[in-house]
Structure 1
Amino acid sequence: MGDAPSGALTPLLEANGIRIFALPTDCGDVGSFSTRQSGTPFVFLPSHLDGEQARQHLAHELGQLVLGHSRPGHRDSRTAAIQFASAFLMPRTAVVAAMLRTATPERLAAASSAWGVPTSAVLHRLHDLELMPEWSHRSTIERLGDERAPYEQPGATSVERSYLLPKAVAHLRARGLPVDSVAELTAVRTDDPPRWPTTISPGAPGS
């Protein structure tokens, strides 16, 4: 991908064999996590995330899988995964080329939109790369907070959508598999609410 924005992460991860699912709504106290089962990597996300948050969580869990630190509560692995996610979503050379050291809130918002991350993530990346002095970093965060971040639009990024799930549902329908058969194969009771990936669009097949 070079230094270009990563675009939608869900199809990228799915194309490389990672299965992405949403956690049930009654698991609100559980954060995102990743694991491997019989060699297959899985990522589980809270169901309430907006587009930008989902991208950050996906990049973080990708870091856990790539770095081999999928151990809950392991502090060093979490720090490394956070650094991985930041670098993956905002490559160093692209951030340097953007020349945001003294950027206005409008330019910061434009950069955050291009990279699909919150403005606060851009500020932290600039600080980590020593492209923004400590005093400027703090004052900018305070200014955005005092102004209720008028330039930042949470959830403005397009929702992450699965390309795999609609195809799987269409395939099952073409084979004439009834819901009961699918439930038996996936060990999900038919009286449970659907546990589709959080990235599925509301109007997609099977939603």
Structure 2
Amino acid sequence: MATFNLSRFAFARKRRQLTKKELAEMAGVAQATLTRIDTGITSAPSNETVAALAKALGYPVDFFYLDDVDELDIRQVSFRSLKSMTAKQTEAALASGALGCIFNDWISERFNLPAPNLPELRVEDPVSSASAIRRHWGIGFRPIPNLVKLLESKGVRIFTLAEGKDVDAFSFWRDGVPFMFLNTLKSPERSRFDAAHELGHLLMHVHGYMDGRDVEREADLFASHFLVPREDLIAHLPSAPSLKQVISSKHRWGISVAALARSAKDSGLLSDWHYRELCKQIAVAGYRTSEPNSIERESSVLWRKVLEELWKDRHTKETIAQKLSLPLDEINSLLKGILSDGSRTQRYVQQPPLRVI
């Protein structure tokens, strides 16, 4: 007989960001009963109790009778804004990362996914690292049309974060495979910069090599120089550009007006005074919160192709969820923001049958 897995129960509660009291009320279970289960005093709760808890958590009952989830250690994950996140949000994001690993493992058993091609750049400074990875990938100084597509082709597994705007992008290595989770509630330009920022972490900040270093500043510098090589910037942006010129030029590199202004300053195209004046104009125009002439959001090529192949065997996201004993909303949360649009991917979700009424 299968044994109720307490660690999976704790995992699901963290994923849903529920306190014990909230869960007990939602499930219609006495808080004392829940406490006995949570502390291991009751190791075999009744089928009725497990069913009620599973329904409240939105997880299938089978989920709670499988082996432990290989959860992530916070020390191995690079969070962009850890200080602004609550403990609940951090735990939920870490759980999301573990679910991404489960999904990737299942897919990897069925497909030959791109092998990781990220060299170790632990001792390089950010600017040198940006140049080094461009040389390694053979992309020279050219702008990168679709960063998500490029990263996927180099073995990075990219997923979506669904924890709200307060939870920023993060990345980590697991069993030699790089993972990246992006917050697609932000502007396309910000998500693209976040992806480059996390690439910097994956290349330069493997756990154990970060003591005493301002890793966030290093990742920002890497992202700026990786997306906008100085040689290409100087060739295509005039010296002391106006705000109008910055706006019209941002599409070449796919970054925000604020980020392009900073790149221009770092490359010597703007004086300190001119940069401050440009920043004031950007703020007054509201471009720090609402990006002008926004670019199209980048989408996954890898997961789209995988889902298309699975569809040929009548595998939908719903059947994948069933095979992994996960709720459908968790599969959707991993992929929704990184796939193109709902209309083009709707066929990968099983539709309810029509009935004559």
Instruction: Quickly name the TM-score band, shorter chain normalised.
Output: 0.7 to 0.9
Whole-Å separation in 2 of the counterparts to 1:191 and 1:2? 40
**Higher mean displacement: 102-111 or 11-20:** 102-111
- Considering only CA atoms, is the larger Rg found in Structure 1 or Structure 2? 2
Which one scores higher on RCO, CA 8 angstroms, separation ≥ 6? Answer: 1
Matches for 1:1-207 after TM superposition, within 5 Å: 1-24=139-162, 26-69=163-206, 76-149=214-287, 153-154=291-292, 156-177=294-315, 179=317, 181-186=319-324, 188-190=326-328, 192=330, 194-195=332-333, 196=335, 198-202=337-341, 203-205=343-345, 206=348
Check 1:162–1:135 CA distance in 2 against 1; reply closer, same or farther (3 A cut): same
1:186, distance to aligned residue in structure 2 (A): 4.3
Code of the residue aligned with 1:40 in structure 2: it is V
Code of the residue aligned with 2:233 in structure 1: it is V
* TM-score w.r.t. length of structure 1: 0.86
Root-mean-square deviation over aligned CA pairs: 2.6
Check 1:34–1:122 CA distance in 2 against 1; reply closer, same or farther (3 A cut): same
More helix by share: 2
User: Could you report, residue by residue, the CA deviation over 1:115-168 in whole angstroms, capped at 9, with x for unpaired residues?
Assistant: 11111111111222233111110011112322335xx84472111011111211
Check 1:170–1:141 CA distance in 2 against 1; reply closer, same or farther (3 A cut): same
1:185, distance to aligned residue in structure 2 (A): 4.6
Q: Count residues in correspondence.
A: 204
Code of the residue aligned with 2:170 in structure 1: it is F
SS of match in other structure, 1:201: coil
- Check the 8 A contact 2:237/2:249 in 1, yes or no: no
* TM-score w.r.t. length of structure 2: 0.52
Code of the residue aligned with 2:248 in structure 1: it is A
Check 1:154–1:58 CA distance in 2 against 1; reply closer, same or farther (3 A cut): farther
Whole-Å separation in 2 of the counterparts to 1:99 and 1:177? 48
Check 1:155–1:44 CA distance in 2 against 1; reply closer, same or farther (3 A cut): farther
Task: Name structure 1 gaps, 5 residues minimum.
Answer: none
1:37, distance to aligned residue in structure 2 (A): 1.5
Check 1:179–1:129 CA distance in 2 against 1; reply closer, same or farther (3 A cut): closer
Task: Name structure 2 gaps, 5 residues minimum.
Answer: 1-138, 350-357
- Check the 8 A contact 2:240/2:271 in 1, yes or no: no
